[in-house]
């Protein structure tokens, strides 16, 4: 029996889709297909799903909004776990408890409505709450780690409650590297006034206009201590470098844009940029993007 049919038979109540196409569900717009995508709507459904994945030895991949993922070219004989049906949002004192699938936009709108500030710097970052927490997404002024108080997750098939310090947040990294699934996150807000929140949102919205347009994963590399990665790449003469349909942006050299290229084009260009920067400057860039890697329970 194929993976989709098996999952459908074992989990008849769960939302599910066959032949999931990574190119349609990632911002970089490339990649192969997966046998199935599953859409749990609650922690209980997620726990049941992980039990079945383990029993049936089916590999899986956790996918949020797909804004920082470089998919694989090859077909994935496994399940993509999606969080788009996990959408609850509630206020607890001056904190917000958001389910993993809540988008950055929905989080910002909710905080604004509740007159809670602190979230404004996340304006325009394509993200889900789960993906943003896993990536410790943000801008220099604020990262998810600055607001996260507690994370409800499923690790090794068991529910766990993690404090921020247990999440080992770092520069675009955390303990959530693909195996442990985030269910919801409690984030600290600050009581604010509507006018200041609105003005701050508009300021951050304005800053986003300078970023390159087109299909990308945002910044590909973490800034090393020596110099912003984009500057380094530019100084190495790599703006405009191209592999098939993938090219280094002429606006911001830390962005790789994809115009009809394949996941292999994008991966080869990222490898090339990293190697050229190392050869010319001696600095080894660390990737911020997450390349597809299947996990097993």
Binding site for ligand FAD (CB under 6 A): 27, 62-69, 83, 100, 125-128, 130-132, 134-135, 137-139, 176, 178, 181-182, 211, 216-218, 290
Residue number of the CB atom closest to ligand FAD: 131
Nearer to ligand FAD, 11 or 182 (CB): 182
Q: d(Cα 253, Cα 257) in Å, to the nearest integer?
A: 10
Nearer to ligand FAD, 70 or 116 (CB): 70
**Residue 256 near residue 214 (C-beta atoms within 8 A):** no
Q: Which residue, among 83, 198, 52, 93, has the nearest Cα to 152 in the 3D structure? A: 83
Q: How far is the CB of 83 from ligand FAD (least distance, A)?
A: 5
> CA angle, corner 155, sides to 11 and 189, nearest 5?
105
Q: d(Cα 102, Cα 100) in Å, to the nearest integer?
A: 6
Nearer to ligand FAD, 98 or 197 (CB): 98
Q: How far is the CB of 191 from ligand FAD (least distance, A)?
A: 26
Q: How far is the CB of 94 from ligand FAD (least distance, A)?
A: 23
**Residue 38 near residue 49 (C-beta atoms within 8 A):** yes
Q: How far is the CB of 279 from ligand FAD (least distance, A)?
A: 27
Decide: helix, strand or coil at residue 253.
Answer: coil
Nearer to ligand FAD, 135 or 162 (CB): 135
> To the nearest 10°, the Cα dihedral for 137, 141, 145, 147?
-120
Nearer to ligand FAD, 93 or 165 (CB): 165
Residue with tokens 């993200």: 127
Nearer to ligand FAD, 64 or 189 (CB): 64
Q: How far is the CB of 289 from ligand FAD (least distance, A)?
A: 8
Residue 221 CB partners (closer than 8 Å, separation 6+): 229, 233, 254, 273, 274, 285, 286, 287, 288
Q: How far is the CB of 10 from ligand FAD (least distance, A)?
A: 22
**Residue 175 near residue 168 (C-beta atoms within 8 A):** yes
Decide: helix, strand or coil at residue 58.
Answer: coil
Nearer to ligand FAD, 217 or 236 (CB): 217
Q: How far is the CB of 93 from ligand FAD (least distance, A)?
A: 24
> Exposure of 47 by Cβ count < 10 A (0-12 exposed, 13-18 middle, 19+ buried)?
middle
């Amino acid at each position: 029996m194929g993976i989709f049919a098996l999952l459908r038979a074992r989990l008849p109540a769960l939302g599910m889709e066959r032949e999931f196409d990574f190119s349609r569900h990632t911002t970089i717009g490339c990649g192969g297909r997966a046998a199935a995508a599953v859409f749990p709507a609650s922690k209980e459904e997620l726990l049941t799903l992980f039990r079945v994945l383990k029993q049936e030895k089916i590999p899986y991949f956790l996918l949020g909004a797909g804004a920082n993922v470089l998919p694989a070219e090859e077909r994935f004989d496994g399940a993509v776990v999606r969080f788009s049906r996990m959408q609850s949002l509630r206020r607890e004192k001056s904190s917000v408890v958001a389910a993993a699938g809540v988008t950055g936009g929905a989080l910002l709108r909710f905080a604004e409505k509740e007159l809670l500030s602190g979230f404004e710097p996340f304006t325009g970052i394509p993200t889900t709450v789960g993906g943003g927490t896993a990536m410790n997404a943000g801008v220099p002024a604020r990262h998810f780690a600055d607001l996260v108080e507690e994370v409800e997750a499923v690790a090794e098939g068991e529910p766990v409650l993690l404090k921020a310090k247990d999440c080992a947040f770092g520069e675009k990294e955390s303990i959530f590297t693909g195996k442990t699934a985030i269910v919801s996150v409690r984030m600290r807000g600050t009581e604010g006034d509507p006018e200041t929140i609105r003005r701050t949102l508009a300021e951050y919205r304005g800053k986003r206009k300078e970023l390159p347009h087109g299909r990308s994963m945002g910044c590909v590399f973490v800034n090393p201590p020596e110099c912003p990665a984009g500057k380094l790449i530019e100084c190495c003469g790599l703006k405009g470098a191209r592999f098939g349909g993938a090219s280094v942006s002429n606006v911001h050299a830390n962005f790789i844009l994809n115009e009809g290229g394949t996941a292999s084009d994008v991966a080869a260009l990222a490898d090339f940029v990293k190697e050229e920067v190392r050869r010319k400057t001696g600095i080894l860039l660390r990737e911020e993007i997450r390349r597809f890697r299947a996990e097993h329970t």
